[in-house]
Structure 1
Amino acid sequence: MRHTRHVRLAALATALLAGPVALCAAPASAVTGNPVSGTAFGPTAQLLIGDYDRGCSGVLVDAEWLLTAASCFADDPAASLDVPAGKPKLKTTATIGRADLTGTDGAVREVVELVPRTDRDVVLARLNRPVTGVTPATLSTAAPTAGEELGFAGYGRTKSEWAPLKLHTGALTVDATDTTSATVTGKDGASACMGDTGGPVLNAAHQLVALNSRSFQGGCYGIDATETRTGGIAARVDDLASWVNAKVGAVRITDFNCDGVEDIAIADPKATVGGDAGAGVVRVVYGGGKGTAEINQDLDWVRGGSEPDDWFGEAMDTVDYNQDGCTDLVVGTPSEDLGSVKDAGMVDILYGAPNGIGTGALKDTHFEQGAGNGSLGASTAEAGDRTGQALAAGTTAAGEPFVVIGVPGESLGAVAKAGMAIYVHGDTNIAISQDSTGVPGGVEANDAFGSAVAADANHIAISAPHDAIGGDADAGNLAVFSHTLNSEGRPTPLFGLDQDLDSVSGGAEAGDLFGASLALATYRPSGAAAATESILAVGSPGEDLTIDGANKVDTGLVHAFRITASGSYSQIRTYSQGTGTDDVSGTSESGDRFGSTLSAVNTAPRAVSTTATMKLAVGVPNEAIGSTANAGTVQTFSLVGAAGTYDRWIEAGNSTGLPGTPGANQYVGKSIHYTGTGLYIGMPYGPNAYGAVHMLPMANVTAGGTATAITTYRPGTGGLPAAGARFGYVAR
């Protein structure tokens, strides 16, 4: 423990931890304090840690987060309150909003992540899924003062019960405060007992000011009758609102080994494995200097076997699919042959664990046509299906993990390469196509529905960039869905988009490829209580634009649409490089293919969205830098601000910090991915012989930001083997 205890409290019990825990056979009235009444203590939680090793209390401060005591998770609270960030060592079950534990109200969740304080007996504990129907506690902004009366609650022992089944409360008086704690004395014989640790301490306005921490435990069950003192110490939280909000409101990091430090998975789908050229590998770099790992199909826990030109890792995404606190990696291998069926494709969810991906009991969930259940089990693998060419994974607003799998080469009946997508959730999956009820468009050969997919907590977008619109081949369209399942068990179709609609600017033209790239980010407008809307970005890299009177073929364009919670939409802007004299960086030129790739992020998903928090990155891989053809560039914009005001130009060697110099056919912009901390730009085509990935901090990719040091991942450095062929093709 890094802070010093009060001298007069040195004789306190080491912690108010109940353990081992034994539940009473029948309810009993608590007498240390009083049975709970009213709603003030409604968000109180009971925590069971390990195999009934310890019992604690806590309080809900957000739909997904509790505040509780760090001492609940410390190995030896008497010696130190240091608790590692990340997944708890022991399984921890939280029952929230259930004053009588024999009831069914409230919710039961697992604690999957700890974010400890280092200055006091406090830890934030993330739940595996949101809690509904229980209003979180509000943190006070005023410190407790001497003489102030406060109320406390907990599920700990009473005078007569070892493990009561009802929440109890009591009153206490503040004796004194310091910067992190308050000394208190129980009123009318009330005392915090073992098991009350981490329980809420409220002021008269029912705001959270502190947590139960330590007590003399006078009158508590099992304490010597000669101990009559009811004094104790409470850990202050009234000054922690900004810390709580920063942690609760942050974008979830990729954390394969669940230690609270960001990790990264980088695909090299052209890498050779066991002599098989193009078999493909994924390399994982664990944050905090915890090493690297290689994943390929020759590992005994990964389905399939490495074969030439499988291109394992051609598509990837991440999600905590089994909700254990460890990020899971979703890997697409669309060029996989299934038996003699070429390029049928398959997808795997590779599960994270405390010792890294693939080290836990659950290692791999496998998806291929003709195997398993749902639509995949009922279908047949065909040549050129390319299952897994596009992937989008995440968690719905209700807390349900999902994966969307694009299968653009799927034939529907006799219609070749019409395409479909598979929506995976829970232990089942279901197909979506342009033949599904309510999905706009018609099933036609070579539409390639499912070529690009995007999803956030609110919506799903699936495109058919090769769909003919009004006779214009490859003009492209897309469909948008909510996660609500309709009567067929499919996500509910909301609307379709193409450039022949009056509500979409431009006009459908042959080769536009509207929908060739997609990006979605949650959006919270001013006045809204939560981010229940989305901003959808749609790339049309084949768009022709007239610039200064001249037609620029395949220069590219990006549209942005606002999607409301009710499912309506409106176009809010377009992005292009424009002319050489406008306020947007660059100039639209033939063959740039602006919008070939897209990535979007809301860096503050709980807050009202602003121009600074809503970010879009656009890949322009065919951009010529001077006379250097296909050098490529990335441009960043605000998703809700004027393009020219908020754009930034990123190329090799410029002030943003992307190293090197522009090189021919490097195609910078083919691989881009936003996280909550920065923008990953892959350079699989050089200049390094194996490829590289650069992580640019947000300041580097934000207009007006000051460039800071970037992080580079390159084979032959940082524990990565000096091998590969397209390292950085995808980074997640």
Structure 2
Amino acid sequence: MTYARPVRLAALAATLTLGSAVLAAGPAAAVTGPAVSAADNTYAYTAQITVGDHDRGCSGVLVDREWLLTAASCFAADPAAGLSVPAGKPATKTTAVIGRSDLTGTAGAARQIVELVPRTDRDAVLARLNRPVTNVAPVALATTAPTTGESLTLAGYGRTATEWAPLSLHTGTFTVDAPAATTASVTGTGSTAACMGDTGGPLVRGTAGTAQLAALASQSYQGGCYGIDATETRTGGVVTRVDDLASWVSATTGAVRVTDFNCDGVEDIAISDPRATVGGVGAAGLIRIVYGGGKGIAEINQNLDWVPGAAEASDWFGESLATVDYDEDGCTDLAVGTPAEDLGNTADAGMLDVLHGAAGGLGTGAVKNTHFEEGSGNGSLATAVAQAGDRFGDSIAAGVTAAGEPFVVSGAPGESVSGQAKAGAAFYLHGATNVIVHQDSTDVPGAPEPNDGFGGAVSADRNFFAVGAPGETIGADGGAGNLAVFSHTLTAAGLPTPRFGLDQDLDTVAGGAEAGDQFGYSLALAPYRPSGATSATDSILAVGSPGEDLDIDGVAKADAGNILTFRITAAGAYTQLNGLSQGTADDDVAGTAEAGDRMGAALTAINTAPRALSTTATMKLAVGTPNEAIGTAANAGAVHTFSLLGAPGANDRWLEAGDGDGIPTAPGADQQLGTSIHYTGTKLYVGLPLGPSTYGTLYALPLSNVTAGGTIAPVTTYQPGAGGLPAAGDRFGYAAR
């Protein structure tokens, strides 16, 4: 059948405002079919999308717990002129209701759409939700194209024949006339037609558990739809094929989220220089933001009117960094620790700030900062008393739980607990409140003692967080160290649930507790999906002991350092996996253990494919050995990469300055390579804040450069005096996120 050029459904929705703004008519039933009852979950994966204050409405379909697939025309500025949609946060606040056939009910879930990833070859876009939907099953994508004569069922929330803004999901049947490369022409059976608001709605083959998404509603003549000229009787249209999009959907939904402070879909980077001079004040500290896509460079310091505090000598603003979308608006927020901040006359009490991202970058939105310090705010922080040397913000971890709740964990290793000076504590910041945990908290292993330093290291993933106490005395061994692991599940008292503690006097942990081991000095957690699991329910924990003494062929190597790795099950049980250390030049593991190496002083880990079954290739660990001697250069430092799975020696790679992997400078005494390392889904960031550059340098190494057997690709260098970065600073690259 030959059609005149169809009218773009979204274009009409833009001019006739409400469109599918309310869950209502779906394609076929939009005109003649019955509404789906509130109790019918057959099409629960269908979503109602509302752009702005009902400025425009569309339908969509849940294809992942955190992602909808819908029509790009729903978000195009002028769908009649083109379907180009910028990647990143939608220009207008957009909401989605999923799994609610009756909009007056409470079934399913309501979410915000915070990120768009458009296709350029068809009317389709992936839309990320601010939190996962846990009570509605996503629909599977079809793997074969629609065929001529095939019947597909459309579900949508658009108009019906008699309603402008119906309150029920509707469905209807369409027959495929002819498939094309990325589209197919269809005709509604009987008087069924797709109406405004059905754009982006799913067309499925099969029913219930066998349903497969074959196409999305795109264009329609809208014959018989409410508000359309009665002389228009055609019920045909064009749908967007999705049967060839599975790999794109999987790659997009399964990728590690990038740091994106200006929410444009391009990766940004925050680089701290905590010893930088600000306004003539030494070691006040600053952070430089490099926006991806050539969108400029910004400096953040405490002399800005939207950043709490003021630039003061030895504040070390930016000594610790972490990133998370704390306010769930689609823009990455930057958590900044200033543990040496004086509060009034209380020296080094410390504070933490979450600097909020926005379309114009950090600090440009309506809410610019969320501030945390002891003695203010709510929860445990409100009742805490800031004391000299608390160092709140000394270590920071941030992320999103498996349930989708953002959180920040902040260590305060100098906190006095039950009268024990510097026993240490950690604060768990989530939502509108916060709680304190320490070794005098219920079920937390260990007991508060002077100089334990609980909170000296923290790490977290979607399942758990870990808090190190590297100064803990085990038996009579001072500074042997221990750690505690918590789940994000809160107890009846509102506290994170303690799962277990680890120290080297346990039979289940290799080695033995010795004075100065500093077990728990560094920590790294990464989510792990084991065989048989449908998601990354488990985690792998790496624990650094840079003070560990090693015996190498009968020769004692004091403070050579090592790392132990553990698998943590969803239930919170643990099993040790591997011990990582250097040995001799003849060992499988690269490097030679030497006294004072302090291997494990810094750790970073990542699962580069957190949705997929975990493998040796996706589970990555990097280890800093800052005091490694390279040739005659004492304390030149090195970085050692491993897989968190499999045999250590079969998957390790040694990185030192000048060895061709991407750090071009020659090894130098006291450069301490390995003090600053951080994994993202695509790079390993390695800082050289102590030289050889006058100001410090940060290198972004592609993952192939740091993976055993990987090829060497060009690196990105960030250095003051180049690439638009001001030629100033002191320890640029001290931390990067």
Whether TM-score is above 0.5 comes out as yes
Partner of residue 420, structure 1: 425
Report 1:358-507 matches (<5 A).
Answer: 358-507=363-512
Report how far residue 454 of structure 1 moved: 0.5
Report 1:520-599 matches (<5 A).
Answer: 520-599=525-604
Partner AA of 1:624 in structure 2: A
Partner AA of 1:448 in structure 2: G
Partner AA of 1:531 in structure 2: A
Paired positions, count: 727
Report how far residue 379 of structure 1 moved: 1.1
Regions of 4+ moved over 6 Å: 22-29
Partner AA of 2:83 in structure 1: L
Unmatched runs of 5 consecutive residues or more in structure 2? none
Secondary structure at the aligned position of 1:322 is classed as coil
Partner of residue 40, structure 1: 42
Cα distance between partner residues in 1 of 2:69 and 2:492: 40
Pick the aligned partner of 1:142 from 126, 141, 144. 144
Report how far residue 22 of structure 1 moved: 8.0
Cα distance between partner residues in 2 of 1:371 and 1:388: 15
Instruction: State whether structure 2 residue 731 is matched by structure 1 residue 726.
Output: yes
Pick the aligned partner of 2:269 from 259, 264, 284. 264
Instruction: State whether structure 2 residue 13 is matched by structure 1 residue 10.
Output: no
Partner AA of 1:69 in structure 2: A
Deviations 1:154-199 (A, max 9, x none): 1011111111111111111111111111111111111001100000
Q: Does the 8 Å contact 1:681/1:695 carry over to 2? A: yes
Cα distance between partner residues in 2 of 1:641 and 1:273: 47
Partner of residue 101, structure 2: 99
Report how far residue 23 of structure 1 moved: 9.3
Q: Does the 8 Å contact 2:19/2:159 carry over to 1? A: no
Deviations 1:603-657 (A, max 9, x none): 0000110000000000000000011111111000000121100000111111212
Cα distance between partner residues in 2 of 1:669 and 1:647: 15
Cα distance between partner residues in 2 of 1:320 and 1:538: 27
Cα distance between partner residues in 2 of 1:613 and 1:168: 43
Partner AA of 2:450 in structure 1: A
Partner of residue 287, structure 2: 282
Pick the aligned partner of 1:295 from 292, 300, 322. 300
Cα distance between partner residues in 2 of 1:14 and 1:75: 14
Partner AA of 2:33 in structure 1: G
Identical columns (%):
66
Cα distance between partner residues in 2 of 1:22 and 1:545: 70
Cα distance between partner residues in 2 of 1:526 and 1:557: 28
Secondary structure at the aligned position of 1:551 is classed as strand
Report how far residue 549 of structure 1 moved: 1.5
Partner AA of 2:17 in structure 1: P
Q: Does the 8 Å contact 1:211/1:235 carry over to 2? A: yes
What is the TM-score of this pair, normalised by structure 1? 0.98
Secondary structure at the aligned position of 1:376 is classed as helix
Partner of residue 120, structure 2: 118
Instruction: State whether structure 2 residue 320 is matched by structure 1 residue 315.
Output: yes
Partner AA of 1:706 in structure 2: T
Deviations 1:246-267 (A, max 9, x none): 0000001100000000000000
Cα distance between partner residues in 1 of 2:629 and 2:725: 31
Q: 1:547 to 1:292 in 2, by over 3 A?
A: same
Secondary structure at the aligned position of 1:35 is classed as coil
Q: Does the 8 Å contact 1:15/1:215 carry over to 2? A: no
Pick the aligned partner of 2:345 from 333, 340, 344. 340
* Cα RMSD for the two superposed structures: 1.5
Partner of residue 3, structure 1: none
Deviations 1:333-361 (A, max 9, x none): 00001111111100000000000000000
Cα distance between partner residues in 1 of 2:163 and 2:211: 27
Instruction: State whether structure 2 residue 717 is matched by structure 1 residue 712.
Output: yes
Q: Does the 8 Å contact 1:66/1:124 carry over to 2? A: yes
Cα distance between partner residues in 1 of 2:251 and 2:20: 37
Partner of residue 658, structure 2: 653
Deviations 1:355-401 (A, max 9, x none): 00000000111111111111111011111110100000001000111
Pick the aligned partner of 2:199 from 197, 200, 212. 197
Partner of residue 154, structure 1: 156
Partner of residue 247, structure 1: 252
Secondary structure at the aligned position of 1:255 is classed as coil
Report how far residue 716 of structure 1 moved: 1.2
Partner AA of 1:21 in structure 2: L
Partner AA of 1:700 in structure 2: N
Cα distance between partner residues in 2 of 1:480 and 1:595: 19
Cα distance between partner residues in 2 of 1:289 and 1:489: 44
Instruction: State whether structure 2 residue 67 is matched by structure 1 residue 65.
Output: yes
Cα distance between partner residues in 2 of 1:386 and 1:451: 9
Q: Does the 8 Å contact 2:203/2:213 carry over to 1? A: yes
Cα distance between partner residues in 1 of 2:281 and 2:82: 52
Secondary structure at the aligned position of 1:644 is classed as helix
What is the TM-score of this pair, normalised by structure 2? 0.97
Deviates more, 1:615-624 or 1:405-414: 405-414
Report how far residue 26 of structure 1 moved: 12
Partner AA of 2:226 in structure 1: Y
Partner of residue 135, structure 2: 133
Q: 1:175 to 1:353 in 2, by over 3 A?
A: same
Secondary structure at the aligned position of 1:700 is classed as helix
Partner AA of 2:461 in structure 1: D
Secondary structure at the aligned position of 2:219 is classed as strand
Secondary structure at the aligned position of 1:94 is classed as strand
Secondary structure at the aligned position of 2:381 is classed as helix
Cα distance between partner residues in 2 of 1:26 and 1:70: 19
Deviations 1:227-276 (A, max 9, x none): 11111000011110000000000001100000000000000000000010
Cα distance between partner residues in 1 of 2:185 and 2:597: 67
Partner of residue 21, structure 1: 18
Partner of residue 232, structure 1: 237
Cα distance between partner residues in 2 of 1:279 and 1:677: 32
Q: Does the 8 Å contact 1:24/1:165 carry over to 2? A: no
Partner AA of 1:329 in structure 2: L
Cα distance between partner residues in 2 of 1:26 and 1:263: 37
Secondary structure at the aligned position of 2:704 is classed as helix
Q: 1:184 to 1:310 in 2, by over 3 A?
A: same
Report how far residue 415 of structure 1 moved: 1.1
Report how far residue 25 of structure 1 moved: 11
Q: 1:27 to 1:401 in 2, by over 3 A?
A: closer
Partner of residue 668, structure 2: 663
Partner AA of 2:113 in structure 1: V
Secondary structure at the aligned position of 2:649 is classed as coil
Partner AA of 1:270 in structure 2: R
Q: Does the 8 Å contact 1:50/1:92 carry over to 2? A: yes
Report how far residue 532 of structure 1 moved: 0.7
Cα distance between partner residues in 2 of 1:253 and 1:563: 26
Cα distance between partner residues in 2 of 1:496 and 1:11: 65
Report how far residue 462 of structure 1 moved: 0.4
Cα distance between partner residues in 2 of 1:86 and 1:375: 36
Cα distance between partner residues in 2 of 1:704 and 1:27: 55
Report how far residue 413 of structure 1 moved: 3.4
Partner AA of 1:32 in structure 2: T
Cα distance between partner residues in 1 of 2:624 and 2:21: 62
Q: Does the 8 Å contact 1:14/1:78 carry over to 2? A: no
